[in-house]
Copies of this chain bind each other. A is one copy, B any other.
Amino acid sequence: MSDHKPDIKLLFEPESIAVIGVSQEPGKIGYKILENIVEVGYLGAIYPVNPRGGHALGLDILRSVDEISGEIDVAIIAIPARFVFDAVVNCAKKKVKFLTIISSGFSEVGNLEEEQRILRYTRKNNIRVLGPNIFGHYSSKVSLNATFGPRDIRPGNVAIITQSGALGVAMIGKTAVQNIGLSSIISVGNKSDINEADLLEYLINQEETKIILMYVEGIQDGERLVEVLKRATRVKPVIVIKSGRSIRGAVAAASHTGSLAGSDKVFDAIMRQCGVLRAESIQEALEWSKFLSHTPVPVGSNTIIITNGGGVGVMATDACEKYDIKLYDDQEKLKLTFESVAHGFGSTKNPVDITGEATKADYLKALKEALVDDSIESVIALYCETAMMDSQELTEMIDEMYGQYQAAAKPITFSIFGGERTETAITALHKKNVPVYRDVYDAVSCLGALHFIRKSQSREIEDYTAAKVDLDAVNKLVDSALADGRSFLLAEEGQGLLNAASLPGPRGGVVHSVQEAVSLADKIGYPVVMKVVSRDILHKSDAGGVLLDLENDAEVIDGYQTIIHSCKANVPNAYIDGIEVVEQIKAGTEVIIGGRRDTNFGPTLMFGLGGIYVEVMKDVAFRAVPLSQREIRTMIKEIRSYPLLLGVRGEARKDIESIISALEKVSALISLVPRISDIEINPLVVYEQGSGARAVDIRVLLSDDKEDSKS
A contact set with B: CB distance below 8 Å: 104, 108-109, 150, 163-167, 169-170, 172-174, 176-177, 215, 217, 243-249, 280-283, 308-312, 314-315, 317-322, 327, 345, 356, 384-386, 417-423, 438-442, 611-612, 615-619, 640-641, 643-644, 648-649
Contacts and interface: CB of A to CB of B under 8 A. Distances in A.
A173 B385 contact: yes
A387 to B, nearest CB: 8
A643 B616 contact: yes
Contacts of A217: 311, 314
Pick the 7 closest A-B CB pairs, nearest first.
A173-B419, A166-B309, A164-B311, A246-B321, A283-B439, A243-B314, A167-B311
A308 B385 contact: no
A174 B418 contact: yes
B176 A420 contact: yes
A643 B641 CA distance: 18
Contact of A439 (B177, B281, B385): B281
B311 A215 contact: yes
Contacts of A308: 166
Given A176-B419, A422-B173, A311 B641 contact: no
Given A150-B419, A420-B176, A643-B616, A164 B310 contact: yes
B314 A170 contact: no
Contacts of A320: 246
Given A177-B419, A612-B641, A318 B167 contact: no
B170 A385 contact: yes
A558 B318 CA distance: 64
A440 B648 CA distance: 44
Contact of A167 (B165, B281, B417, B442): B417
Given A356-B165, A640-B617, A248 B417 contact: no
Contact of A386 (B169, B247, B384, B423): B169
Given A166-B386, A245-B321, A612-B648, 9 more contacts: A166-B356, A167-B309, A167-B417, A169-B385, A173-B421, A174-B385, A177-B423, A280-B441, A616-B648
Number of identical monomers bound together in the oligomeric complex? 2
A243 B616 contact: no
21 contacts: A150-B419, A164-B311, A166-B309, A167-B417, A170-B417, A173-B422, A177-B422, A177-B423, A215-B311, A217-B311, A217-B314, A246-B317, A246-B321, A247-B321, A248-B317, A281-B440, A282-B315, A283-B438, A283-B441, A283-B442, A618-B640
A417 B285 CA distance: 14
A318 B243 contact: yes
A420 to B, nearest CB: 6
Contacts of A104: 345
A253 to B, nearest CB: 18
Given A422-B173, A617-B617, A617-B640, A384 B245 contact: no
Contacts of A170: 309, 384-386, 417-419, 422
Contact of A616 (B164, B165, B248, B644): B644
A104 to B, nearest CB: 8
Contacts of A439: 281-283
Contacts of A215: 311
A177 B641 CA distance: 47
Contacts of A249: 314, 317
B616 A617 contact: no
A161 to B, nearest CB: 13
Contact of A177 (B177, B356, B420, B441): B420
Contacts of A617: 617, 619, 640-641
A401 to B, nearest CB: 20
Given A281-B439, A281-B441, A439-B282, A312 B166 contact: yes
B167 A312 contact: yes
A215 B643 CA distance: 36
Contacts of A282: 315, 417, 439-440
B167 A384 contact: yes
B640 A419 contact: no
Nearest to A444: B281
Contacts of A423: 177
A94 to B, nearest CB: 32
A409 to B, nearest CB: 28
Nearest to A27: B387
A311 B440 CA distance: 29
A166 B384 contact: yes
Nearest to A245: B318
Contact of A315 (B165, B177, B243, B309): B243
A504 to B, nearest CB: 25
A429 to B, nearest CB: 16
Which among A243, A244, A282, A322 has the highest number of chain B CB atoms within 10 Å? A243
A424 B156 CA distance: 24
B640 A244 contact: no
A248 B345 contact: no
Contacts of A619: 617
Nearest to A168: B311
Q: Which has the most chain B C-beta neighbours within 10 Å: A108, A174, A312, A320?
A: A174
B419 A174 contact: yes
Given A166-B384, A166-B386, A439-B281, A644 B612 contact: yes
B248 A321 contact: yes
Residue of A314, A327, A615 ringed by the most chain B CB atoms within 10 A: A314
A441 B318 CA distance: 21
A615 B642 CA distance: 12
Contacts of A418: 170, 173-174
A427 to B, nearest CB: 11
A322 B247 CA distance: 10
A466 B591 CA distance: 44
Contact of A169 (B310, B345, B384): B384
